[in-house]
Amino acid sequence: MSVATPSVPSLAGIAARRGQAPVPTDAPVKIDVDRMNFYYGAKRALDGISIRIHANLVTAFIGPSGCGKSTFLRSLNRMNDIIPATRVEGTVLIDGQNIYGPGVDVVELRRRVGMVFQKSNPFPKSIFENVAYGLRINNMARSKSEMNDRVEESLRQAAIFDEVKDRLHESALALSGGQQQRLCIARALAIRPEILLMDEPASALDPIATQRIEELIYDLKKNYTIVIVTHNMQQAARVSDHTAFFWLGRLVEYERTDRIFTAPAEKLTEDYVTGRCG
Amino acid sequence: MERVVRHFQEELETLKQRLLAMGGLAEERTRVAVHGVAERDHEAIQVVLTGDEPINDLHIEIDDRCFKMLALHQPMAADLRAIVAAVKINSDLERVGDLAVNVAEAGKRYLQHPPVKPLIDIPRMGDIAQVMLRDALDAFVRRDLFLAESVLLKDDELDALKTQIFRELLTFMLQDPSTIEPALDLILISRHLERIGDHATNIAEDVIFMVSARDVRHQPFEAPGSGGSRL
């Protein structure tokens, strides 16, 4: 079966929509990115990305491998800084402050903008210590009882407390993959971030554990702004309010998720979500 | 497990509630239309003639909900059957709303003439059609196979009454040509009520499919509970 090669998107049309708040919503803008370019050495990985991400909603980034969605996600808490020879142009405002501006405290930025990775990566410590660690290094618990309370609160928010409450001082590595991932979410939540970036948080999990993570994401958006990268379009459809479709380093379409998956404006988005390209 | 599917289940529950609201409207409008004809109540007829909008709005809203749930949640098995059933039930209920308007239209014309005869069977048809609708929707909500199957059985009563009304009115028309116009409207009304029963039957068949994955359309009806695997 021959599949028609999708035509290059109408970049003029895409450019015309850039910078606009594309999604009708009352939610305030939390992250405001304007004409951002990103380079790995000489290679431009992101090209003129402008997007406004709204508070207390779930925004999903979708697109084929290498389209730049993970690079863009990591640029939102400057996680790319640790990769040599990378360079950013344009502005990324979080609550109006340019996170690439001079004098920005990157450690403080990453406290405000937490991250959960594809592969769960608990520390080789107890369940309790995994969550307490961030609180301790940030001096965020003044007493032992406050520490206990904050650990419990974080584990509850991550919907894992009931499963681990009787073995808090056992090794986190003994947990199942899905539990480890929720523990990592609890760890990220413990230091009370405002934004939670999730890079394929369920791709290594079985369907039931995936469902738990998805329901957790749905619950967490009441208190956090969540940005999730996923290869799994169905997952983006299920969990997100807004979806951004990336293609070859460009943002092709950013819309309400129900629009993206029922009536996208761009032919390229339609071809991608229907499996005709990508 | 219970916690995990909550979000989708909440949406499914809302969908069912909206369908029930629409069913309630369709049933009520059928009742008012038949009452208008039987009691020569012009005001009731007028209410039905002008009030179709809420049903039409729900028709669009429910389709939109189903469309989004299919696109965003990719439901499987029982959930998939429930949403496909909801789409079809939605169409059936919208048609019932239209038929109630058709009854009112014919009723309005009928009321311009003196009564052909005391109306007994038309109100009976109206009652049966309403019960069929109500039972079909209760069966949908309670996932009650027996109730759904009972709806299929009632359809025969409605068909028989329609035939009886036709025969009876034919004799009136043969005897007195001045009754032809109003009698034709009564025949039309009985036809519309019979069609409402057909839509209730469709809904019951969709409920059976939703609950048991059994397709009972276009085949002789088997006694309740006798259905099994067709493999």
Contact B3 A215 (CB under 8 A): yes
Q: Does residue B123 come out as left (phi exceeding 0), alpha (psi in the -120 to 50 range) or beta?
A: alpha
Question: In this complex, is the C-beta atom of A52 within 8 Å of any C-beta atom belonging to chain B?
Answer: no
Q: In chain A, positions 153-212, which contact chain B (CB-CB < 8 Å)?
A: 159, 208, 211-212
Which residue, B72, B159, B155, is CA-closest to A263?
A: B72
Contact B73 A215 (CB under 8 A): no
| Structure-block tokens of residue A240 | 């997100």
Q: Give the DSSP H/E element, type plus range, for residue A53.
A: strand A43-54
pTM: 0.83
Helix/strand/coil (H, E, C) string of B81-147? HHHHHHHHHHHHHHHHHHHHHHHHHHHHHHCCCCCCCCCCHHHHHHHHHHHHHHHHHHHHHHCCHHH
Smallest Cβ distance to B4: which of A211, A258, A261?
A: A211
In angstroms, what separates the C-alpha of B203 from chain A's closest C-alpha? 27
Contact B71 A159 (CB under 8 A): no
**Distance between start and end Cα atoms, chain A:** 16
Helix/strand/coil (H, E, C) string of B11-59? HHHHHHHHHHHHHHHHHHHHHHHHHHHHCCCHHHHHHHHHCCHHHHHHH
pLDDT given at position A204: 82
pLDDT given at position A22: 55
Question: In this complex, is the C-beta atom of A215 within 8 Å of any C-beta atom belonging to chain B?
Answer: yes
Residue A78 has phi, psi (to 5 degrees) of 55, 35
A199 to A51, A116, A181, A228: CA distances (angstroms): 18, 6, 12, 6
How, if at all, do strands A242-247 and A225-229 pair?
unpaired
How, if at all, do strands A86-94 and A43-54 pair?
unpaired
Contact B6 A262 (CB under 8 A): no
Beta-carbon contacts below 8 Å between A and B: 32
Contact B68 A258 (CB under 8 A): yes
* pLDDT tens, residue by residue, B54-88: 999 999 999 999 999 999 999 999 999 999 999 99
Contact B4 A234 (CB under 8 A): no
Smallest Cβ distance to A215: which of B6, B68, B73?
A: B6
Q: Taking CA atoms, what residue in A is nearest to B68?
A: A258
Q: What is the mean pLDDT of each run of 10 residues along chain B (231 residues)?
A: 65 95 96 97 97 96 96 92 96 98 98 94 97 96 95 95 96 95 97 98 96 87 50 46
- Provide, as residue numbers in chain B, all residues whose Cβ is less than 8 Å from the Cβ of A208: 1, 4
The total of other beta-carbon atoms located within 10 Å of residue B206's CB is 26
| Structure-block tokens of residue A137 | 């290094």
Which residue, B127, B140, B132, is CA-closest to B89?
A: B140
In angstroms, what separates the C-alpha of A23 from chain B's closest C-alpha? 17
CA dist., res. A75 & res. A246, Å (int): 15
Distance of CA A209 to the CA centre of its chain: 18
- Provide, as residue numbers in chain B, all residues whose Cβ is less than 8 Å from the Cβ of A234: 74
Contact B68 A215 (CB under 8 A): no
Contact B4 A238 (CB under 8 A): no
Smallest Cβ distance to A261: which of B5, B6, B71?
A: B71
In angstroms, what separates the C-alpha of B60 from chain A's closest C-alpha? 15
In angstroms, what separates the C-alpha of A148 from chain B's closest C-alpha? 25
Contact A262 B7 (CB under 8 A): no
pLDDT given at position B133: 97
pLDDT given at position A24: 58
ipTM of the complex: 0.76
Contact A77, A115 (CB under 8 A): yes
pLDDT by 10s per residue, chain A, length 278? 344 444 444 444 444 444 444 555 778 999 999 999 999 999 999 999 999 999 999 999 999 999 999 999 999 999 999 999 999 999 999 999 999 999 999 999 999 999 999 888 999 999 999 999 999 988 888 999 999 999 999 999 898 999 999 999 999 999 999 999 999 999 999 999 999 999 999 988 888 888 888 999 998 999 999 999 998 999 999 999 999 999 999 999 999 999 999 999 999 999 999 988 86
CA dist., res. B193 & res. B27, Å (int): 11
Q: Taking CA atoms, what residue in B is nearest to A261?
A: B71
**One-letter amino acid for residue B141 of the chain:** V
**DSSP string for A186-205:** HHHHHT--SEEEEESTTTTS
Q: What pairs with residue A98 in β-bridges?
A: A93
Q: Which residues of A200-237 are buried (b: 16+ CB within 10 A; e: fewer)?
A: bbbebbeeebbbbbbbbbbbbbeebbbbbbbeebebbb
pLDDT given at position B2: 39
Smallest Cβ distance to B72: which of A159, A215, A258?
A: A258
Question: In this complex, is the C-beta atom of A261 within 8 Å of any C-beta atom belonging to chain B?
Answer: yes
Q: Taking CA atoms, what residue in B is nearest to A236?
A: B72
Q: What pairs with residue A116 in β-bridges?
A: A198
Residue whose token pair is 């949403």: B83
| Structure-block tokens of residue B200 | 């209730």
Contact B72 A237 (CB under 8 A): yes
| Structure-block tokens of residue A18 | 């850039």
